[in-house]
Structure 1
Amino acid sequence: MPATKRGVISIVSSIFDPCGFLAPFTFRAKCLIQEVWRTGIQWDDKLKTDLEVKWNAWLKELDELKRFQLPRHHIGFTKAATDIEVHLFADASEKGFGSVAYLKYLPDTGNGTCSFVAAKTRVALIKPQLSIPCLELQATVLAVRLWNCLKEELPVLVKHVYFWTDSMTVIQYINNQTRRFKPFVSNRIAEILDSTNSSQWYHVSSDQNPADYCSRGLPASKLTVKHSWFTGPSFLYSDKESWPVQPANNQDVDGTDPEIKISCFVKTNSGTNQEFPLSSLKIRYLMSPERFSTWQRLLRHTAWLLRALRNFLVPVKRLQLTSLTSSHLLPEEYESALLHWTKQAQEDGFPAEIGCLNKHKDLPAGSTLLPLTPSYDEHHLRLQGRLRKGNVPRDTWNQIILPKSHVITDLLLLDAHLKTFHGGVEHMVAQIRERFWPISVRQTAKKIIRQCFLCKKRRASPKVPRMADLPRQGLTTLAPCIQQLVVEQ
C-alpha cells in the first residue's frame, strides 16, 4: 500500500478492534491521520518526509501484533466471585482523550483480581481547540457512555461502579453546588449526573491512571498480557482502605475559572413611591432585535421578558408592582413591548433631535424631521398632524416617527407587508401610517418587497421555451413544375 492519505486511512481502518484491546496503539495512528489531514494533501499524494517516517515506523510495529495473544476468558473469574465491581478510568491530553474499564472480582477470601473489559479513544478536535479541563471533561463523558454500553452487555450482576480521573477540576465540576457553567460544561455535567452520582467519582494520580495510555499511546512491543493496560492499576488488587487518598469534597470551583457563567444583576434605585416604569429598562442588552425574523415574534419574546423583570421587582415595596401570573400575555404587555422598541429605535436614530426638544430648543438645521414639526411627549417623537380636533384616535394624527434603515422600522414594514397579504408599496404605506410615520417609507417598503421570496416568485416572468428546428421537408428545395417553356409564333 503506498504511503498516501488513502493508503494510511485504508490500513488503519482495516484493524478490527471493537473492544479496544489495541486502543493505545491505534490511537497513535489516529493522531497521524489528523496530522496528514492538516497538511491538506490530496488523497493520492505522497506523504511529507516527516510523516512518512512516522508512518513506516508504525507499520513495522504493526507486524509485531501477529504474535499478540489474549485469553478467551477474563483471568481469575470463577463462580466463587460474590462481589463484582467495574472501575472506569478517564484521561486526556492535548492529542486526545479516552476511557478504559476493568472488572474486579471479589471472592469470599482474598483481595480478588482484575481484568480488562473495553476501552474507547478519541482524538482532540482541530477546531474548536478545547482546553485541557474541557478535554478531561470529554474523557469523563466518554467513560459514562462506555459504562452505559457495558451495563447492557455484561451478563454478570455488577454491584459497585467506580469512576476515576486525574483531573481535580472535573471532580470539582461534578461536585459543584453553587456555580453555574457555560453551556459546553453544563450540558456534559448534566449527562454525567444523569447516569452517575457524584459519590462514584474518585481522584487518581496520573502515574496510576491506565487511561493515560489512551491519550498518549503505547508501542506494540509493550502490549503484553502482563502490562498494566490489561491488568489495571496495582491498587485495585488491594482493599478499599489502600486506595489513593481522596481530597476533601468541600473544595469549590475557582471563581476565575473561564467556564463559569457570569451572572448579571439589575439594581434599581427609586426615591419616590410611584410605580416603576418598565419601559425604562434597557433590555437591548438582554436580547437583540436583529435575531428575530418577524415583528410579532419580537413582541412576544419582549413581553415575556418584561413580565419576568416585573415579577423579579415585585418584592421591592417602594415600586408598588403587582405580580402577573396568567398563562397568556395581556394586550397591555404587548403594548408595553411595542412602545419599548419604538422608543429604542428613536434613541438610536434621533439622539440630537430628542436632546434639542427636551431642552426646548430648535431642531438642528440639517435634521430630516424639520418638515414634520415633531413634538416630544417624554417618551416618543410624534408627528404634529392637523386632525387634532377630529373624532379620531390619537395615533391617527399624532403618529410615532421612526428612523430610516433601522431594524425596528424594517420589521414593522415587513409586518405591514404580511398583513396586506403581500400588498404593494402604497398598501404598506397606508397600513403602517395608521400609527407610525417612518422616514423614507416608500424606499424602505420597496426594499422589503424586493427581499420577499413570495413576491419574487410572483414577479418572475415565465421562461419562453426554445422553439424546435424546422422540419426537413420544409427546407428541401423542390424542382420547378415547368422546366422548359416553348413559345411558337
Structure 2
Amino acid sequence: MARKLTNLTQLESFAMEEWAKIPQETCMQHREFHVFSDASSKAVAAVVYLRVTNSNGTNQTGLVMGRAKLAPQTEHLIPRLELCAAVLAIELAELVTLEIDLKIDGTTFYTDSKVVLGYIYNETRRFYVYRDRPEVSTLSTSSSNAQFSTHRFTRFSTWKSLNRAISCLIHISFTYQKTGSTLTCGHKGWHLCEQTHTITELARSKNAIIRAVQEETYIQEISSIKNNTEIQINSVLKTLDPFIDEDGLLRVSGRIKRAKLEDNEKHPIIIPGKHHIATLLIRHHHEEVRHQGRLFTERAIHTAGYWIIGGKRCVSMIIHHCVTCRKLRSPTQIQKMADLPIDRLST
C-alpha cells in the first residue's frame, strides 16, 4: 500500500487518502488495483483501492469503490460467507476495470480467510454452486388462504400497486407451468417481467385478491351457499341474498336481473367494509372522480361493480381524512388586521 508497516502499533499514525486522486497519465509508471474482501454473520463486503507509482518513484493510494451486501437470512457458516465476499471482490474488480479510463497493470486480491485460499487451490473437491433464491410456490387463481394470506395487503397504499403486484405473482406462477414454446415473455421462473400487464391479467389478479378477502371474511356464508343451506340470520349478508358466480366471487343477487344494465351493476361484488382493500378501492375511485364528494365517489364505486358493506360510512370517513379534499374545501383564511395608525386615532 502507501508504505509498508512493520508493526501493528504503527496503525495509529497510518493515514490514507479517502478517494483516489489520479495524477496525469504521463506521470504514471505503474497502476494496480488492491481488492480486499471480508465477511461476517451479518454482511459481506469488498473494497477496491488504486495504487499509482509516479515517475519520481512515489506511490499514491486511494479508495476507488466499495460494495456491501447483507448476508442471506438462511444461516450459513462464516467460511461460506467468506467465499461469497471473495466472489463479490472479483465482480467489483471486473466492474471497476471495465469502467475506469486507465490501463491497469495488475490486480491483487486480499482475504483473511485460509478457507478461501484453500478452496482456490483445491482442485479435487468443489462446493455446490451457492444460489440464495426465494422459494416460490405456485399460485393459482384458486389459491387457498394458507397460500394467499390477505394480511400482506396492508403493505400497499394504492389499489393499482396491489393489483399489479398480485398480477406479477400470478404471471410468475404460470411460467412454472408452461413450457418454453408457450412462454409469452421468454422467461421462466422467478423474474421481474418488463412487459405491460394486459387487461386479462389485471382482471385475473383483481378476482384473486377479492376472492381471497371474501374467503377469509365470509367463511360461514360461503359454506352455507355451497351447501345450499340458509345463511345465519345475524349475518350482514342476509339481506343481500348473495350468490357465488363462475369466478368464485360473492355477488349481490337482488331483483333487477332483467334490468338493461351491465352485469357488474346488477350484481355487484361484495366487499367487506372493514377490510383494507375497501379503503384502497374507495381511495382509487375517489381520485378517479377528482375528489368530487361522497355521492360521486359512491356512484363510481357502484358503476365499477362493487358493493361495500357500510359503504356510506366508509366513504365519508375516507373523504374526511383526504388531504386534498381538506385543502379544496377549507374556508378562506382571514388575515389578521394590523393596528390602526395614530392619524386615524386622533380626534
**TM-score bin, normalised by smaller chain:** 0.5 to 0.7
* Aligned mates of 2:150, 2:129 — CA distance in 1: 26
Residue aligning to 1:372: 240
RMSD: 4.9
Letter in 2 for 1:445: V
Identify which of 252, 255, 270 aligns with 1:386: 255
Q: Distance in 1 between matches of 2:202 and 2:95?
A: 50
Query: 1-side partners of 2:240 and 2:150: how far apart?
Result: 33
Structure 1: gaps of 5 or more residues? 1-17, 29-61, 66-80, 104-114, 172-202, 205-243, 268-277, 479-489
CA deviation vs aligned residue, 1:297-343 (integer Å, no higher than 9, x gap): 33334334323322331249xxxx96545954433222212211111
Distance 2:294 2:227 in 1: 37
1:367 deviates by: 1.5
Q: Distance in 2 between matches of 1:117 and 1:426?
A: 72
Give me the whole-angstrom Cα distance separating, in 1, the residues matched to 2:335 and 2:31: 76
* Residue identity opposite 2:294 in structure 1: V
SS of the aligned residue for 1:284 comes to coil
Alignment partner of 1:461 is 2:331: yes
Q: CA deviation at 1:415?
A: 1.7
Q: Does 2:122 match 1:247? A: yes
The answer to whether the Cα contact below 8 Å between 1:99 and 1:139 also exists between their aligned partners in 2 is no
> How far is the alpha carbon of 1:438 from its aligned partner?
0.5
Equivalent in 257, 280, 288 of residue 142 of structure 2? 280
Selected match of 2:285 from 406, 416, 436: 416
Q: Is the contact made by 1:363 and 1:370 (CA closer than 8 Å) also made in structure 2?
A: yes
Change (3 A) 1:153 1:413: closer
1:90 is displaced (CA, Å) by: 3.2
What are the within-5 Å matches in structure 2 for residues 150-169 of structure 1?
158=105, 160-167=106-113
Secondary structure in structure 2 of the residue aligned to 1:433: helix
Unaligned 5+ runs, structure 2: 15-28, 52-57, 187-194
Q: 2:317 is matched with which residue: 447, 451, 460?
A: 447
TM-score (norm. length: structure 2): 0.66
Equivalent of 1:302 in 166, 182, 186: 166
SS at match of 1:413: helix
Question: Is the 8 Å Cα contact of residues 137 and 173 (structure 2) preserved in structure 1?
Answer: no
How far did 1:102 drift?
10
* AA partner of residue 280 (structure 1): S
> In structure 2, what is the equivalent of residue 396 of structure 1?
265
Mapping for residues 22-101 of structure 1, pairs under 5 Å: 88=34, 90=36, 92=38
- 1:292–1:27 Cα change, 3 Å: farther
Shift of 1:467: 0.9
Partner of 2:18: none
Residue by residue over 1:271-297, the C-alpha shift from the partner in whole angstroms, topping out at 9 and shown as x without a partner, is xxxxxxx42146736994334333233
Give 1:253 deviation, angstroms. 5.0
Contact 1:87 1:161 in 2 (8 A): yes
Q: CA deviation at 1:437?
A: 0.6
**What code does the residue aligned with 2:244 have?**
Y
Q: How far, CA to CA, are the matches of 1:20 and 1:153 in structure 2?
A: 26
Task: Name 2:308's counterpart in structure 1.
Answer: 438
After superposition, give the CA deviation of every residue in 1:142-173 in whole Å (9 maximum; x if it has no partner). 79569959x9698x872x4342323367x4xx
- 1:8-59 Cα distance to aligned partner (Å, 9 max, x none): xxxxxxxxxx94767966866xxxxxxxxxxxxxxxxxxxxxxxxxxxxxxx
- Give secondary structure in 2 for the equivalent of 1:161: strand
The 1:119–1:469 alpha-carbon spacing in structure 2 relative to 1, beyond 3 Å, is closer
The equivalent position to 1:263 in structure 2, one of 132, 135, 146, is: 135
Q: 1:370 to 1:472 in 2, by over 3 A?
A: same
- Aligned 1:166-245 pairs, distance under 5 A: 166-167=112-113, 171=116, 203=117
SS in structure 2 opposite 1:279? coil
What TM-score do you get using the length of structure 1 for normalisation?
A: 0.49
Contact 1:21 1:118 in 2 (8 A): no
